[in-house]
Structure 1
Amino acid sequence: MKQKLSILILIFFSQIIYSQSDCIKSLKYSGEIKIKNFKVETILLPRTNFLKGYVKFDEIGGYIRVEPKSELFEKRSVTHLSSEFCKNSDEIIDGFFKKVKNYPIRIIEKKKDHIGEYKTLEFEIPTEKMNFKIGENGLIEIIFPKIE
């Protein structure tokens, strides 16, 4: 009995010692959309769950919804829970955000006089056109290029 108890205690403490913590990181998405003859109602931007490949863009958790008040948009969010986000912001940008090939963005306009009908534009922004900054308290800003 003592031997079984000792083994259980050993297993329990080994799990505590070798388990890795998970973290989240604050994010801010921003950019500018200026499309002629198109009134932007909603913008869908990729969440980290999608960027990592855990979900598809159209699935719950795949995108973040932004309802801009002007041509400029800004939205705060957080990453999903992962040990990848326990690193400092520079390492996260280089090791996670810059490893993504393209950043999808979906822009939606409600059609006038057509209840429930929408016009949608989709873009794939190459990572090299994206900008990343580190703000206060390690906040990572994901800056989309101007879309015209």
Structure 2
Amino acid sequence: MANVSATSIRLGSPFTPMSYTKAGRTSPILSLGTTKAAFPSLRLSRFRVYCAAKPETVKKVMEIVKKQLALSDDVALTPESKLSVLGADSLDTVEIVMGLEEEFGISVEEDNSQNITTVQEAADLIEKLVQKKSEAAN
């Protein structure tokens, strides 16, 4: 006599689990429900808030970056431009920071200079340091 095995799969609605039945036993395959993992697009890997640096500060930072990296006029810089993508190494970044210090009459600490990766970050740091300097003078 041969053994007969019956297997069936039942697909549930979005609110009921999927299951399968084998030889009279029902086991869950997959449970569909609302979990945090159901909306992976809502997860943010990184969330940044920028202070809005003055447009003239951003423009001046872009001029200094272009000059320091010897970029041609056809290279389009934006506030989101990454210094590393533009070809800046750590020495270039130090020289850019020195140019910013000279231009704006500020002093950038080494810890802060290591955190500069984009034109916008440099401009935001400049705004913050210029504001601190003016508050200290008053």
TM-score by length of 2: 0.29
Larger Rg computed on CA atoms = 2
Higher helix proportion (structure 1 or 2) = 2
TM-score by length of 1: 0.27
Report which of the two has the higher share of strand: 1
